[in-house]
Amino acid sequence: MDIVQFKQEVIEYSKTIGIDKIGFTSASTFDEMKNRLIRQQAHHYQSGFEEPDIEKRVNPSLLMDKPRSIISIAVAYPSKMKVRVVSKRGERRGIFCRASWGKDYHHILRERLQKLEEFIQARIPEAICKSMVDTGELVDRAVAQRAGIGWSGKNCSIITPEFGSYVYLGEMITSLPFEPDEPMEDRCGSCNKCVDVCPTGALIQGGQLDAQKCVAFLTQTKGFLAEQYREKLGNRLYGCDTCQTVCPENKGKDFHLHKEMEPDPEVAKPLLRPLLFIGNREFKEKFGPVSGSWRGKKPIQRNAIIALAHYKDETAVDDLIKVMTEDPRPVIRGTAAWALGKIGGEESLAALKQALQQEKDGEVIPEIEKGLSFIEQ
């Protein structure tokens, strides 16, 4: 088999199975990424969701015997909804980030990579392939950057000239000696918009992210959200797109190439109040298919409460009082107490005073006190 010609065949085949960009790189270690990860660890910038063993994240030979190359794939997703939500006056909605619109991309990319593996192994049966998407050990962005898919922007996204940064990434380590493609040159230049606009200062110069400060990460935590970040959340229920939407490279980039990625507006931008009382089954039915539900309903509900406070939605006061007094989960009760304080008013004040008499939980009581202090000051 002529490997140069076979690479071309793989590229041609990838276009027929919904892969929008493909690149190839060697299976050597990702030294630059290793240094970045070591710095990240030293500064405690990691999210905690990633593979803890840095060596595994940068050394393909620890993941597969005798790897010779890595194939990187990118699939473009939409940045604008074709169908807009229609809200009645005063109805408040939250938002899921664009990467969580449509069907969970992990499934979509795994299925594409599986087809690619089958194509390769049908022609070269002895070929060994190992695919991964997001939750695999390798750093998708490092692979994509070296394989020429795009450059690594200061917003820590891979930016492709064709689709901007609105791409999902996946990769496959192979035992085949495909010729590597050239990495793409950094085109951020003197632009610094993403760093300047980040609401929490999570982007450190030089394309480093402090995940502990990043709203995208914070929306996925399950405990109480640290006070200093609550007002930064806005109406975000899951993820944050700010450093992507502001990027000039994303201007006008809105691709609708895959129908399974089209968002249902009622899921991507749901009404906030119904989320407070949504049952497990309904949550699973409605939000289970999107990637933003992977942490379950609690973080989404906590964020919905924070979003109601952000809007100072007085029509939500009765619901929030019910949540503060009846929800079994301290994080939800306490966040509701904080939100009532932010919204204010006589009804909130009376309910908070009463809750202070009845609440027993050591984490909720300070939240009630905070809520009271907002109104009484």
Applying CB under 6 A, the residues found at the interface with ligand SF4 are 153-155, 188, 191-194, 198-200, 202-203, 209, 214-216, 240, 242-243, 246-249
| Closest to 60 (Cα-Cα) out of 47, 72, 75 | 72
Of 99 and 323, which has the nearer Cβ to ligand SF4? 99
Of 236 and 269, which has the nearer Cβ to ligand SF4? 236
Cβ at position 164, least distance to ligand SF4 in Å = 9
**CA–CA separation, 288 vs 290, rounded Å?**
6
**Residue from 31, 53, 104, 134 carrying the catalytic annotation:** 134
Distances (CA, A) of 140 to 19, 39, 46, 58, 74: 15, 18, 16, 10, 10
Phi–psi pair at 289, nearest 5 degrees: -70, -15
Of 246 and 356, which has the nearer Cβ to ligand SF4? 246
| Closest to 117 (Cα-Cα) out of 130, 105, 133 | 130
330, two tokens:
């301290």
149, two tokens:
């898919």
**CA–CA separation, 98 vs 104, rounded Å?**
11
* Contact between 75 and 20 (Cβ < 8 Å): yes
Cβ at position 105, least distance to ligand SF4 in Å = 17
* Contact between 173 and 262 (Cβ < 8 Å): no
**Catalytic (active site) residue 361:** no
Of 100 and 348, which has the nearer Cβ to ligand SF4? 100
For the CA atoms of 219, 217, 197, 44, what is the dihedral angle to 10 degrees?
140
Of 236 and 342, which has the nearer Cβ to ligand SF4? 236
Phi–psi pair at 169, nearest 5 degrees: -120, 145
Cβ at position 166, least distance to ligand SF4 in Å = 12
Helix (H) or strand (E) holding 309: helix 297-310
The whole-angstrom distance between residue 96's C-alpha and the CA centroid of its chain comes to: 9
Of 175 and 244, which has the nearer Cβ to ligand SF4? 244
38, two tokens:
């070591």
Cβ at position 324, least distance to ligand SF4 in Å = 28
Cβ at position 125, least distance to ligand SF4 in Å = 42
Residue nearest to ligand SF4 as judged by C-beta position: 153
Site of tokens 């406070």: 309
* Contact between 120 and 22 (Cβ < 8 Å): no
**CA–CA separation, 3 vs 358, rounded Å?**
72
Cβ at position 94, least distance to ligand SF4 in Å = 15
Of 207 and 330, which has the nearer Cβ to ligand SF4? 207
Cβ at position 371, least distance to ligand SF4 in Å = 26
3-state SS, residue 305: helix
* R_g over Cα of the chain: 23
Query: In 3-state terms, the chain is what percent helix, strand and coil (to 5)?
Result: 45, 10, 45
Q: Which residue numbers are catalytic?
A: 134
